[in-house]
Amino acid sequence: MVSPAAGVSRQGIAAALGAYLTWGLFGLYFKALAGLPAAEVLAHRVLGGALFALIVLVAVRQTGEVREILADCRRLRQLAASALAIAINWGLFIWAVTHGRALEASMGYFIFPLVSVVLARLVLKETLDRRRQVAVAVVAAGVGWMMLRGHGVPWVALVLAASFGAYGLIRKTAPVSALAGLFIEAALLAPLALLYLAWAKGGAVLHADGRTQALLAVAGPVTAIPLALFAVAARRLPLATIGLLMYVNPSIQMAVAVWVFGETFTAAHAVTFAAIWIGLAIYSWPVRRREPLQASAPSLRL
């Protein structure tokens, strides 16, 4: 039987991949809601996410941690900061997808891992060996090429990368569980969501068709499940690993933007896509163990 540390690592990788696969397909969900204002969709995401997280917390009897967090000013400030970061990220992504800029949004999530690696080095003092430094450099060159060959400053991509990088860092360092943290974040944003809907007199959804209303009805679990998985991964994996696994998400987003939404895929995108996967191959290529087999025995348990 493998050591608990190895099991935690596998759980972290599985949680990260589950979150990234789901987020990669998010464009399809939000494109179907293109008839509604982005701010209104965001408000429903916040309220639905808060309600879904609360139901799960009550079901698993973990509401005690929520009370502890509310009494802890430090943790509450951390979650207020992460709530702001994720609200910016959510709102801008919804706007980008519904305004024909899904491809630029995917660029933001290509850039995010580089932001994540920089934060890991500067804030958490995580280190990368020489091989993985080369991998990051290859990916950075690919992303840089896309920016140089693009049209103007890709502000959507930059804001998405920065906001999600900040969110990942805060959630990694905040001593809260995934579900309780998610509920507090959504609850902190809920008053703003309610104020918006009150100002909009209920919003356009009141006059939408049944399909649109049904899509918004599942906004809670659609929002909460991948975010909770990401929070689990952020607590179990090095931030640099989370960043490089993140490329699963924008790769799917890019494919959806081009093949489903019909956005233009240029030669610059092709170069960047190739560089990203070359970097991933370098990063994840197995290294031959130099230690004798016996050296790993203490980490095994029967």
Q: What is the DSSP letter of 92?
A: H
**More confident call, 47 vs 235:** 47
Neighbours of 61 (CB within 10 A): 7
pLDDT number for residue 301: 30
Neighbours of 33 (CB within 10 A): 22
Query: Would you say the C-alpha torsion 55, 56, 59, 62 has a positive or negative sign?
Result: negative
* Rounded mean pLDDT, 214-242: 83
Q: Which of 84-88, 177-181, 258-262 has the lowest mean pLDDT?
A: 177-181
Query: Cβ neighbours of residue 202 under 8 Å, at least 6 residues apart?
Result: none
Task: Judge whether 228 and 111 are in contact, CB under 8 Å.
Answer: no
Q: Which of 102-106, 279-283, 290-294 has the lowest mean pLDDT?
A: 290-294
Q: What is the pLDDT of residues 44-68, one digit of tens each?
A: 999 998 998 899 899 988 889 899 9
Q: Is the pLDDT of residue 298 over 70?
A: no
CA distance 293 to 302: 17
CA distance 203 to 59: 31
pLDDT number for residue 150: 64
pTM of the model: 0.80
Phi/psi region, residue 112 (left: phi>0; alpha: psi -120 to 50; beta: rest), is alpha
Q: Is the pLDDT of residue 1 over 50?
A: no
**More confident call, 300 vs 81:** 81
* Rounded mean pLDDT, 81-93: 94
Written as one letter, the residue type at 225 is I
pLDDT number for residue 137: 86
DSSP string, 98-109: HTT-HHHHHHHH
pLDDT number for residue 152: 62
Q: Is the pLDDT of residue 103 over 80?
A: yes
Query: Would you say the C-alpha torsion 227, 230, 232, 235 has a positive or negative sign?
Result: negative
pLDDT number for residue 119: 76
* Rounded mean pLDDT, 31-37: 90
Question: What's the chain's length in residues?
Answer: 302
Q: Is the pLDDT of residue 294 over 80?
A: no
The most distant pair of C-alpha atoms in the chain lies apart, rounded to whole Å, by 69
Q: Which of 275, 287, 283 is nearest to 142 (CA)?
A: 275
Q: Is the pLDDT of residue 296 over 70?
A: no
Mean of the per-residue pLDDT values for the chain?
82
**Which two three-digit tokens encode residue 90?**
């959510």
CA distances from 270 to 10, 142, 185 (A): 31, 9, 37
CA distance 29 to 32: 5
**More confident call, 15 vs 227:** 15
CA distance 45 to 63: 21
CA distances from 40 to 33, 37, 79, 185 (A): 10, 5, 23, 18
pLDDT number for residue 113: 72
Tokens 């509310």 belong to 70
Query: What backbone phi and psi angles, to 5 degrees, belong to 78?
Result: -60, -45
Q: Is the pLDDT of residue 178 over 90?
A: no
